[in-house]
């Protein structure tokens, strides 16, 4: 029997039956299993550098999922309280996982919040479209939208020529779903813009100088990926990178 790579999937802290629990949406696990042909392993959400190092040693790739929580402003050197909800444990864990994976040459992939976590890990900063000037268009559906409407909210994004994403998905324009309020303000050192919306918001990024791939998208490729070839390409590449690391 051929072994499949193990992909560590970060979890979020949520209250279940009155106590904190580590939660991962099923669609992320299904995407890893079905479209990346890998085995997802849920990483419990607590902030411990030694535990993160031990986890990264034993897996072949890291997946940082989306979440309805926002990254705390102090994580990227900003003042102010920011906009809740927050997930302190996940904020800490994601940074430990990213740095450990880079040190051990393991691939790191991010979706939505995961992109923001990678940018912060590389010294970048974030902005919130709910604060400051009114954006050209919203990157999030209106309050009160049901799940279908929320993940159906979309706009175009242009893939940067000659980058990692263009090799995976081809160059040109994509129609992407958009479910986020936080965006990249200052790009982290050593990161490359892989796709942008027409208003300049960074929709995908990669690391330019790591031994294993670091790739993140601001949209949600795990939501109904079978109907979008570029989302399937994201998961296929994740599986390829994980298998290369396993070998």
End-to-end CA distance of the chain: give it in Å, rounded: 15
Q: What is the pLDDT of residue 135?
A: 62
CA distance 67 to 147: 14
DSSP 122-179: TT--EEETTSSSPPSS-SSPPTT--HHHHHH-EEEEEEPTTSHHHHHH-SEEEEEE--
Beta-strand pair 12-16/191-197 = unpaired
Selection from 237, 240, 117, 120 nearest residue 187 by Cα:
120
CA distance 151 to 78: 29
Q: What is the pLDDT of residue 21?
A: 95
Beta-strand pair 6-10/61-64 = parallel
Length of the chain: 247
Point out the catalytic residue in the list 129, 194, 203, 222: 222
Point out the catalytic residue in the list 35, 112, 155, 203: 112
Point out the catalytic residue in the list 96, 155, 220, 230: 220
DSSP state of 75: G
Query: pLDDT tens across 170-214, in order?
Result: 999 999 998 888 899 999 999 999 999 998 999 999 999 999 999
Give yes or no for residue 13 having a pLDDT over 90: yes
User: What's this model's pTM, rounded to 2 decimal places?
Assistant: 0.95
- The reply to whether 72 belongs to the active site is no
- The reply to whether 12 belongs to the active site is no
- The reply to whether 194 belongs to the active site is no
- What residues pair up with 61 in beta bridges, in sequence order? 7
Contact 162, 223 (CB under 8 A): no
Backbone angles phi, psi at 189, to 5 degrees: -65, 130
Tokens of 94: 């994601």
Average pLDDT value for residue range 10-31: 96
Q: What is the pLDDT of residue 142?
A: 82
Query: pLDDT tens across 53-84, in order?
Result: 999 999 999 999 999 999 999 999 998 888 89
- List domains and CATH numbers for the chain: 6-246 (3.40.50.880)
Strands (E), 165-225: 172-177, 182-184, 191-197, 202-207, 214-217
CA distance 209 to 136: 33
DSSP state of 190: T
């Amino acid at each position: 029997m051929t072994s499949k790579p193990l992909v560590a999937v970060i979890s979020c802290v949520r209250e279940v039956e009155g106590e904190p629990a580590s939660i991962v949406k099923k669609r992320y696990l299904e995407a890893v299993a079905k479209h990346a042909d890998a085995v997802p392993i849920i990483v419990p959400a607590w902030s411990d550098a030694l535990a993160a190092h031990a986890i990264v040693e034993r897996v072949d790739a890291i997946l940082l999922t989306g979440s309805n929580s926002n990254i705390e402003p102090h994580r990227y050197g900003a003042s102010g309280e920011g906009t809740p909800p927050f997930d302190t444990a996940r904020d800490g864990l994601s940074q430990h996982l990213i740095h450990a994976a880079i040190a051990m040459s393991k691939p790191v992939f991010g979706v939505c919040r995961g992109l923001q976590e990678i940018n912060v890990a590389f010294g970048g900063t974030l902005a919130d479209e709910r604060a400051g000037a009114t954006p050209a268009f919203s990157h999030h559906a209106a309050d009160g939208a049901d799940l279908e409407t929320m993940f159906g909210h979309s706009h175009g994004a242009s893939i940067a020529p000659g980058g990692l994403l263009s090799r995976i998905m081809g160059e040109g324009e994509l129609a992407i779903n958009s479910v986020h309020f936080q965006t990249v303000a200052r790009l982290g050192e050593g990161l490359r813009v892989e796709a942008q919306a027409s208003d300049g918001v960074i929709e995908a990024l990669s690391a330019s100088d790591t031994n294993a791939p670091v790739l993140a998208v601001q949209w949600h490729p795990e939501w109904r990926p079978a109907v979008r070839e570029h989302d399937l390409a994201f998961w296929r590449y994740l599986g390829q990178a994980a298998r290369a690391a396993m070998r």
